Amino acid sequence: MNPTFKACVVTLLCSVCTCLSAAELQLYTEDYRPFSYLEDGKPSGMAVAVVEELIRRTGEPARIELVPWTRGYHQVRQQANAAIFSTVRTAQREADFQWVGPIAHGHTRFYTLKEAGLRVANLDDVRRLGTLAVPKRWYSYELLAEQKLDNLYGVSTPQDMLRLFRHGRVKLLLANNLTLNGMLAEQGMRPCQLQEQFDLMANDSYIAFSRRTQAARVARWQRALQEMRHDGSLERIYRHWFPEADEQALADLLSVE
């Protein structure tokens, strides 16, 4: 190969790589307090605070956009240089994304109204209590669909699920313990009105990058998150948003390597 031509090819390839690494990241999230929501027209929340710090540490050009969950989920499965957060990592989703995290650890539980006096111990009891409303793209919807739960009803948003529960259209609420208080407050409800039933599963929340995002870019984000664990900044953000955090769950989150 002519040396001059070879040098031009190498320069072109380096330029392409530089452009690819500099492409703006499209980061999608949903209205899901306290992880993410709009405040004075700007994204806010625990997960947003973590992502904004990761953007600062990596120096990545990025834009956070609040969208309906189904839209964001679809976009990230199609786009390059895109991610959605916070997303629970499950076996069903494992191959669809590249994962950075975890950024939070919680439990998905069933709840009923205290005044209803119900006791729900397992999925057979859930089947007997009529319609169960769950957002269509939630990991819990996917899990329960696999369990052949024939009373499962897919809704568009967590707010839709809460409204049905508040108005007595459904008897059960399925929620992450970390987001429960914020969800209830939006509907004018309080935690003391609810009765905890049984845990469906533990869950770890992640930032899910598209398969078409450069692996090296994803790795930079994971390294930056690990630095946040080591220097205490992840713990400070977590405690700010979850002042009554379960100490063991927090310890488990911070010990991830």
- Higher model confidence: residue 6 or residue 57? 57
One DSSP character per residue, 88-114 reads: E--TTTGGGEEEEEEEEEEEEEEEEEG
Nearest 5 degrees, angle CA 244-CA 249-CA 255?
125
Which residue matches tokens 């429960």?
A: 180
Condensed to tens digits (0 to 9), the pLDDT of residues 82-106 reads 999 999 998 889 999 999 999 999 9
Burial of 121 (0-12, 13-18, 19+ CB in 10 A): exposed
* Spatial contact of 86 and 36, defined as CB atoms under 8 Å apart: yes
Average pLDDT along the chain: 91
Residue 67 to residue 224: CA distance in whole angstroms: 26
Condensed to tens digits (0 to 9), the pLDDT of residues 18-40 reads 444 469 999 999 988 899 999 99
Highest mean pLDDT among 33-37, 53-57, 136-140, 241-245: 53-57
pLDDT at 8 over 90: no
pLDDT at 120 over 70: yes
pLDDT of residue 22: 66
pLDDT at 69 over 90: no
Residue 39 to residue 161: CA distance in whole angstroms: 22
pLDDT of residue 20: 45
pLDDT at 17 over 50: no
